[in-house]
Amino acid sequence: DITFEIESKEKGEYTVRVGEVIGTLIVEEAKPLKIGVVTPITGPAASYGALVKKGAKLAAEEINAEGGVPGVGPIELSFYDTGTSPSTGKNASRKALYQDKISVGSGVISSSVGLAIRPLFEEVEVPLFTATSTTHKLTTKDTRFIFRGWPSTVRTGLFIVPFMKEELGIDNLALVLPDYAFGHSMGKILSTKAEEVGIDIIFKRFVPIGETEYVTVINEMKPLNPDAVFYPVGATGSTGLVPFWEQSRMQNFKPEYFLHYGGAPEYPHMNKLLKEPTLDFITTQVKTVVKVGMDPTDLKTIEFGEKYVERYGEIPALYSATVYDTINIAANAAAAAESTDSVKIRDTIRDMEYEGTAGPIVWGPFTEFGANKNARIRLGFIAKGGPPWAEQTKYHVKIKWEEPLPSPMTMEEAEKIMG
């Protein structure tokens, strides 16, 4: 066998000579790695989608600037709008899979959308990374192509409810829940676990995704005097969370704690919406605890944050970091497989380890297919001022608690807990 190296990367035929032998070398054009980012560009979760888009573009730009995926070619990114709607998400996914023939999908925010498009990606055998979808039903025992990087709602409830009782001393709790799959799943595990540890759920209300009017709900909770309000905003994001805080301040509703889950509030959008009186309210008058994905003191987070700030002039959020990681994971897997074949990429993903911006990501052999074995929950207080590498921001999350790394959970175990 003879190996030829040519400097030209142009597609075409080349005449080569080895001693007395003259032959023709056919050079194929580099095949791009097609990655489809399936995310909300419109709808209630559009602010999240904008962050996903920025993280994906930053990763692709960096990889392509270094010559693309080794042994494969450049990354070709396409964006597909789910509209924060299961039906729209399915139509967008069909275009990505059947028309554009992507090799990898990423960027899913909403659990309802994730559940709707999951069968499509499984059927076509294309790996799909969720950005923050956390319903445990995404990664079942028959899952082979769905990868969820963050703890499921079941895992979260198992950690956060005892935390409320033991660390915060909460005896009674009001729940305000987004009215879609994530909120219903979260409400169920919270209620189940609260009864077990001795926390009384004294109020429970589901609100539409994108809700901004909370005065009625607040005035219903106020006379009950809850120790804490748990509002896992989910796909609503800061467009719903900031009005909730503002209207609580205006109604003089001051439980001891506000608790929020769904990733740390997305910094750039929050910084635009959050006014000083409300920031003062949630940092000095009510203790505000949030789940956070990134540790602002971690070296990988700082490295990513500095690049992101330089590129976009704003601090990154979990959604940007998550998709940034998944684009890099997809590129690494394609390079290791030396292929854009989706099944080969999936097989490589399953065996790889990746040091992500929010911690190590390991899929490998496990009992819950598609779950990151190293995913863990971090909680902290909202505090004024930004981290040292992004001092222009109004606030940051000061991490105080971190979940011990648990054992992977099977679907059967999750369903048993959920009843």
Query: What pLDDT score was predicted for residue 366?
Result: 47
**How many CB atoms lie under 10 A from the CB of residue 415?**
13
Same domain? For 248 and 382 the reply is: yes
Same domain? For 140 and 92 the reply is: yes
Query: What's the CA angle centered on 75, arms 25 and 340, to 5 degrees?
Result: 60
Same domain? For 56 and 171 the reply is: no
Residue 49: give its domain's CATH number: 3.40.50.2300
Range of the domain at 93: 33-150+297-362
Domain-located, residue 247: yes
Which residue in this structure is represented by tokens 């209620």?
191
| C-alpha 62, offset from chain centre | 20
Same domain? For 168 and 255 the reply is: yes
Q: Please, which pLDDT band fits residue 132 given cuts at 50, 70 and 90? A: confident
Q: Please, which pLDDT band fits residue 13 given cuts at 50, 70 and 90? A: low
| Letter string b/e over residues 144-168, b meaning 16 or more CB atoms within 10 A of that residue's CB | ebbbbbbbbbbbbbbbbbebbbeeb
pLDDT > 90 in the chain, percent: 51
Same domain? For 95 and 141 the reply is: yes
C-alpha–C-alpha distance, residues 292 and 321, integer Å: 12
Query: What pLDDT score was predicted for residue 391?
Result: 74
Which residues lie below 8 Å from residue 289, measured CB to CB, with a gap of 6+? 168, 257, 258, 259, 260, 379, 380, 381, 382
Mean pLDDT of the chain: 86
Domain-located, residue 167: yes
- Give yes or no for residue 415 having a pLDDT over 70: no
- Give yes or no for residue 171 having a pLDDT over 90: yes
Same domain? For 159 and 225 the reply is: yes
Same domain? For 58 and 204 the reply is: no
Name the nearest CA neighbour of 42 among 110, 127, 102, 104.
110
Same domain? For 384 and 253 the reply is: yes
249, 277 Cβ separation under 8 angstroms: yes
C-alpha–C-alpha distance, residues 387 and 276, integer Å: 18
The tokens describing 362, both together, are 């390991």
C-alpha–C-alpha distance, residues 148 and 146, integer Å: 7
Q: Locate all alpha helices (DSSP H) within 126-232, ordered by sequence.
A: 153-166, 181-197, 215-221
The pair phi, psi for residue 240, each rounded to 5°, is -100, -30
Query: pLDDT tens digits for 22-33?
Result: 666 555 567 899
Comparing 132-136, 182-186, 262-266, 344-348, the range with the smallest average pLDDT is 262-266
Residues shown for the chain: 419
Average of per-residue pLDDT across 116-121: 96
Query: pLDDT tens digits for 212-253?
Result: 999 999 999 999 999 999 998 766 677 788 999 999 999 999
Same domain? For 247 and 392 the reply is: yes
Amino acid at 131: A
Domain-located, residue 391: yes
Query: pLDDT tens digits for 352-405?
Result: 889 888 778 887 554 456 778 777 788 889 888 877 777 778 888 888 888 776
Query: What pLDDT score was predicted for residue 295?
Result: 77
Q: Which is higher by pLDDT, 234 or 116?
A: 116
**How many CB atoms lie under 10 A from the CB of residue 408?**
16
- Give yes or no for residue 409 having a pLDDT over 70: no
Query: pLDDT tens digits for 39-90?
Result: 999 988 888 899 999 999 999 999 999 999 999 999 999 999 999 899 999 9
